[in-house]
Structure 1
Amino acid sequence: MWKFSIALMVAALFAFKADKPAYLLYDSHFKPVKYERMINELSEADIVFFGEQHNNPICHWLELQVTKDLYTNKKEKLILGAEMFETDNQTVISEYLDGIITAKQLETEAKVWQNYQTDYKPLVDFAQKNHLNFIATNIPRRYASIVSKGGLEALAKLSEEAKKNIAPLPIDVDLTLPGYAEMMKMGGMHSAGSTISAENITKAQAIKDATMASFILKNWVSGKTFLHYNGSYHSNNFEGIVWYLKKQNPALKIVTINSVEADDITQPNTKDKGSASFIVAIPSDMTKSY
């Protein structure tokens, strides 16, 4: 009887996997890669894109770890920037970094996201503590809304002062790029009694990408690494922001990170293969931050 009980206990032990990693790291070909190797490669880049899932806590924890480790390698040669801040909020952010205003004033006057406190404040505070620039790169949302309703030509009505907060006009949009083409397939939408076309929705995405690229380039300095935090769809498959950067400066060394979710992170979805220089696979049942 006791032999049978021991056998049951052994079987129960082997019924569960001993390790439960919160993430696994791969290269673009889905070959496992060590974190240290990724940091070394990021340190040699001109521009790094950390493509996150906005509500995934592992992404935000890793963003902070990558920032800290890049700073160890680069020190003052590191620049930070984010989709989560709009260009017309740069003055407020800079005043906070310089210690002129308080954290509360920053959160009140800048259009911070709902998960700012838990997910992005640690990055901004790290920049302040270590005297790093933190660049607001995204187009003010009111201007993206104008494009979604009236197309890119509607931006011509803006004042010259307002245009300083967006990419230089006119901008090229290639709607045949796979990411944009996929958006086009989703069709239009109805809002406040009017129809917004799929083409204008996609162009609103493009003006975001173009503006982020423009402000990254304005603030990047040769010899430094610009680490940019954004939703993964803005840099996946080296499209979006990356496409606009390459149009302006093909010589840039750009390294991207894509965050994906998978039921089994030892076998990520093959559709994500090649989507970035490095791929972070996170369990699909990971707790969401909102």
Structure 2
Amino acid sequence: MTQPIVRLILTFTALVALTGCNTMQAHRSPTTGPANQYDAVIVDAETGSTLGLEALADRLADTDVVVVGEYHGHHASHLLQARLQQALYARNPRQILTMEQFNLDHQDALDAYLADQTGETEMIEDAQAWDNYRGSYRPLVEFARQQQLPVVAANAPADIVRCIGRQGSAYLDTLPDQQRAMLPEQAFLDTPAYRNKFVEAISGSHGAEQTDLSGRLLNTYQAQLLRDNTMASRILTALEAHPGHQVLHTTGTFHSEQRLGTVAALEQRAQGLTISVISPVELAPFEGALPVAENRHKGDYLYFILPLPTEFRDPERQRSAMQKRFSQRPDTRCE
């Protein structure tokens, strides 16, 4: 399994503060890659032409939902999200920020902070914000708070996701009515392409068929679908509550690239919605033109970024670290 997929599915890493970088504005030639860990080269996936951030915002100004995929903890992903948020707001101040990074059962805690009823540390604790919130997502939430914009906790409750991963989709039938009502009625909509992508990412097998999903792997996939469908449902609910607004949605790129996952769930629920997907591509050392052709299927727009440093080169230390991370997860009871 590649390191980007491991980061997307298994762990969330810390990030330094997103400050002081102007390189993303510059127009670059198609043969010039990102200059540093904050830099991103934005490309129109269809034409292969590079864009500055302002030109990208111009193109997205009338789009209903703008989905910016990220590699969790990557400096360039989070800087692009924060700057695009402001650029889109300048073109349409009727904006909603929806975030995978907060679970819907913590919406009240998030709202209390946005209303200046609690402080940031209180919100981080009460909303169980991700460990890298201050370095990665603070700029997004603070801009929304300053402009009095809605911020939607879009992800499914973590304990329910964990229990689906253990017991499968039938676990939803055991929930109290109030808890079940928070989740979408159709909680496991998917597509064959997403199934195959998931199996390939988890197991490393190529060209896997739908029938390969069974047992714990099927449960894990259904937990993934619950996240995707919940995010799609929350986005649509936000648009219904705020007609004429534009949604900026931040999410791990596995949930959105190739217009799969959350994007496919959105399209199945609201076929008339205009959705633009912006996907990251980690750029290995290269010579010649940017590898647009082999990556254009990932999104309407691509942003090329440098890979994060390798976490481990010692397999034993990697296994030990992963075991430690999972042992620190809350002990959820699925009864």
Identify the TM-score tier after normalising by the shorter chain: 0.7 to 0.9
Which of 1 and 2 has greater Rg? 1
User: Is it true that 1:279 corresponds to 2:279 in the alignment?
Assistant: no
**AA matched with 1:183:** F
Deviations 1:2-54 (Å, cap 9, x if unpaired)? Answer: xxxxxxxxxxxxxxx99936221111236123222210122110001000111
User: Is it true that 1:61 corresponds to 2:79 in the alignment?
Assistant: yes
Partner of 2:153: 136
Q: Give the 3 Å change call, closer, same or farther, for CA 98–279 of structure 1 in structure 2.
A: same
Match of 1:251 among 272, 277, 282: 272
Structure 2: how far apart are the matches of 1:128 and 1:253? 26
Q: Give the 3 Å change call, closer, same or farther, for CA 32–240 of structure 1 in structure 2.
A: same
User: Is it true that 1:184 corresponds to 2:199 in the alignment?
Assistant: yes
Q: Give the 3 Å change call, closer, same or farther, for CA 233–18 of structure 1 in structure 2.
A: closer
Shift of 1:100: 1.2
Q: Give the 3 Å change call, closer, same or farther, for CA 65–257 of structure 1 in structure 2.
A: same
Q: Is the 8 A contact 2:184 2:233 kept in 1?
A: yes
Q: Give the 3 Å change call, closer, same or farther, for CA 109–233 of structure 1 in structure 2.
A: same
User: Is it true that 1:70 corresponds to 2:70 in the alignment?
Assistant: no
Q: Is the 8 A contact 1:52 1:59 kept in 2?
A: yes
Q: Is the 8 A contact 1:232 1:258 kept in 2?
A: yes
**AA matched with 1:229:** T
Matched residue pairs, number?
Answer: 263
Match of 1:156 among 170, 173, 197: 173
Greater alpha carbon shift after TM alignment, 231-240 vs 34-43: 34-43
Secondary structure of 1:281's counterpart equals strand
Partner of 1:217: 236
Q: List alignment gaps of at least 5 residues for structure 1.
A: 1-16, 189-194
Partner of 1:50: 68
Partner of 2:44: 27
Amino-acid identity (%): 25
**AA matched with 2:264:** W
Q: Give the 3 Å change call, closer, same or farther, for CA 268–19 of structure 1 in structure 2.
A: closer
User: Is it true that 1:104 corresponds to 2:121 in the alignment?
Assistant: yes
Structure 2: how far apart are the matches of 1:236 and 1:63? 16
Q: Give the 3 Å change call, closer, same or farther, for CA 103–134 of structure 1 in structure 2.
A: same
Q: Is the 8 A contact 1:57 1:287 kept in 2?
A: no
**TM-score, length-scaled by structure 1:** 0.84
Structure 1: how far apart are the matches of 2:187 and 2:81? 33
Q: Give the 3 Å change call, closer, same or farther, for CA 101–282 of structure 1 in structure 2.
A: same
Structure 2: how far apart are the matches of 1:60 and 1:199? 31
Q: Is the 8 A contact 1:30 1:273 kept in 2?
A: no
Q: Is the 8 A contact 2:74 2:308 kept in 1?
A: no
Question: Which structure is higher in strand share?
Answer: 1
- State the structure with bigger RCO (CA 8 A, min sep 6), 1 or 2: 1
Shift of 1:169: 4.3
Shift of 1:134: 0.4
Deviations 1:119-160 (Å, cap 9, x if unpaired)? Answer: 111111111111000000000111111111111111110011
Structure 2: how far apart are the matches of 1:152 and 1:201? 10
Q: Is the 8 A contact 1:213 1:245 kept in 2?
A: yes
Q: Is the 8 A contact 1:183 1:198 kept in 2?
A: no
Deviations 1:141-185 (Å, cap 9, x if unpaired)? Answer: 1111111111111111001111233222454344x22x3212224
Partner of 1:166: 183
Q: Is the 8 A contact 1:246 1:252 kept in 2?
A: yes
Q: Give the 3 Å change call, closer, same or farther, for CA 285–100 of structure 1 in structure 2.
A: closer
Q: Is the 8 A contact 1:56 1:287 kept in 2?
A: no
Q: List alignment gaps of at least 5 residues for structure 2.
A: 1-31, 205-213, 312-335
Greater alpha carbon shift after TM alignment, 208-217 vs 161-170: 161-170
